[in-house]
Amino acid sequence: MKKPIAFTAIAAALLTHTAAANAENTSGQFAVEGPGQLTCNAFTRARADKGSAEFQRLIGYVEGYLSAANRYEPNTFDLSPWHNAAAFDLILEKHCADNPQDTMVGVVQKMVSALRPIRITEYSPMVEVGAGENRAFVYRAILRRTQAALKSRGFYAGAEDGSYSPQMRDALMAFQKKADLFATGVPDPATLWTLLNP
């Protein structure tokens, strides 16, 4: 059976991180704007209609917050180098099911802490991989990490150069089959999470 994108590990990691936002006054207070004030309950309600403006606003808040965190987090180029809106949705769905009263600002700040180990610290160009529906844009640095991880598991014997070769595609397909993921040969978010999660 094929697994859907599963981000329960990051959702669990969110529960263990309690870091507050760094920018605050001497009393530990800071202003929270717009959707950041809403609770997980509001996210869960909005999620019932993923086409709704409210759902899009909440996912946009997450993306905007993480973009800002890329700016203020030290040694960070991209905290979420292979995540997309669908991945953020699944992470929030899991966390909010278990923590309905958490505020969005609190959840996303916990995401910042949980994502630090997988961040990219320096600029890396994006590379287009795959074709048609099975196509993705991935940082070259992530392709190098992917090659190293596939090599360490015995799936890949090529160079760790960040290029998407037929040999790498075949190695990804073999890994995806073994991990019970969709075997496309493309390093999609579910594959990268399964392969590269620390």
Give the residue carrying structure tokens 């991945």.
87
Max intra-chain CA distance, the chain: 56
pLDDT at 15: 52
* pTM for this prediction: 0.80
- Three-state SS at 131: strand
Answer whether 96's CB lies under 8 Å from 107's CB: yes
Answer whether 143's CB lies under 8 Å from 192's CB: no
Answer whether 58's CB lies under 8 Å from 43's CB: yes
Banded pLDDT at 197 (limits 50, 70, 90): confident
Residue 43 pLDDT > 50: yes
From residue 127, alpha-carbon distances to 28, 130, 184 in Å are: 42, 10, 17
